[in-house]
Amino acid sequence: MLQTALDCVVVIDEGTRIREFNPAAERTFLRSREASLGEELGALILPADFLVGHLKKFAHFLDEGEASAVNRYVECEAERADGTRFPVELSVTPLKVGGEALFTAYLRDITERKAAEHELAAARDAAEEANKAKSQFLANMSHELRTPLSAIIGYSEMLQEEMEDGTEPAGLAPDMHKIETNARHLLGLINDVLDLSKIESGKMEVFVEAFDVEATVRDVAATVAALVEKKNNALSLDLAPGLGAMRSDLTKVRQMLLNLLSNAAKFTEGGTVTLSASRERDRLTFAVRDSGIGMTEAQMGKLFQRFSQADSSTTSRFGGTGLGLSISRAFAIMLGGDITVASTHGRGSTFTVVLPAEVAR
């Protein structure tokens, strides 16, 4: 039984000296039987304070004739011959042989089990966090959708009343403009959800075309200028010479830059938002730098996760669905690049997009 047992079997005396050391113990602890016999178990493979304390209890139970009370499993750390420590499950059974008290220790290496338990716990925590993030996302999205819808309905009702009162067409233009603005915002939210759905299902396609980089950057800046200036911010362009042309997905490049600039404008007030672009051989770098609220390390860790923002207070203060950055990073990866962030809490953030000048087909 000792020779064929899959678990380590170690017999010790009352002084915790090893009397028997089976092959499984040799393999587990990287020690030979000959080198282990006569050695103290506590000094060799188990913490002495743990072992001695338990052996006193075992001796008491043995004297009282209550040996069954010690047949329990406990977990502790053991040590191999190379010094590595690992978790074991230990059970000790006392017995008397010729009036001498001996103890048989059964040890099982539970490293893999502990790793599996840790992975399971981590997966459970991740699933719970993802579920919480999605629930929060749905709450945020319903709020974000209701806001423009309510405005569209409200202004439509006002237009009907004004038309019935005989208001001249020119007087209806401001309300019509507000309806259009809110409808476009609503369309943007719906497009984000559709984009995310396509990305997750693997159905998002890349449409490659040639376009001028500087012209594209200036066009994006002009598109977002009013939004940046809404909070008394200044928009600055820093374009290096020789940007040349790209062969990539123009729509996705524009959307990435618009998302980053919109975020910078949202979290900056009375400051500066800078869009820079440079080229080094066959790679282009776009950076959006702001002087806004910045982020902590913990907040940056959540930044590109889908359905989440830096923290819950961000949503309540600034709104948004938490999709823009995750979609932008997915686009960057699809085009052969990536997005990184550097930030100092209270002093602003810099998002950097690095893309190949030509998408690999």
Give residues with Cβ within 8 angstroms of 69, minimum separation 6: 61
pLDDT in tens, 41-65: 777 777 655 655 555 555 555 455 4
pLDDT at 67: 46
Give the model's pLDDT for residue 318.
47
Angle made by CA atoms 143, 149, 151, in degrees to the nearest 5: 105
Task: Tell me which residue has tokens 């006193």.
Answer: 56
More confident residue, 304 or 173: 173
Residue 275's pLDDT is 95
Q: How far is CA 316 from its chain centroid?
A: 22
Can you read off the two tokens belonging to residue 184?
A: 């476009």
Query: Looking at residue 347, what is its pLDDT?
Result: 85
pLDDT, position 320? 54
Q: Say what the pLDDT of residue 355 is.
A: 96
Q: What is the pLDDT of residue 280?
A: 93
Which pLDDT value is given to residue 68? Answer: 41
Rounded mean pLDDT of 146-168?
83
What pLDDT, on the 0 to 100 scale, is given for residue 1?
A: 82
Q: What are the residues facing 278 on neighbouring strands?
A: 285
How large is the average pLDDT for residues 279-299?
90
Burial 260-295 (b: 16+ CB within 10 A, else e): bbbbbbbbbeebbbbbbbbbeeeebebbbbbbbbbb
If you average pLDDT over every residue of the chain, what do you get? 82
Nearest to 269 by CA among 234, 221, 236, 237: 234
What percent of the chain has a predicted confidence (pLDDT) above 90?
30
pLDDT tens digits, 113-143: 999 999 999 989 888 877 776 776 676 677 6
What is the distance between the alpha carbons of residues 79 and 41, in angstroms, rounded to a whole number?
Answer: 11
pLDDT on residue 322: 64
pTM of the model: 0.55
Cα distance between residue 103 and residue 18, in whole Å: 10
DSSP-derived pairing of the beta strands 209-212 and 18-21: unpaired
What pLDDT sits at residue 276? 95
**pLDDT tens, residue by residue, 209-258:** 999 999 999 999 998 888 888 888 999 999 999 999 999 999 999 989 98
Confidence (pLDDT) at 132: 75
Structure tokens at 299: 């907040």
Is residue 190 over pLDDT 70?
Answer: yes
Lowest average pLDDT, out of 51-65, 74-88, 114-128, 187-201, goes to: 51-65
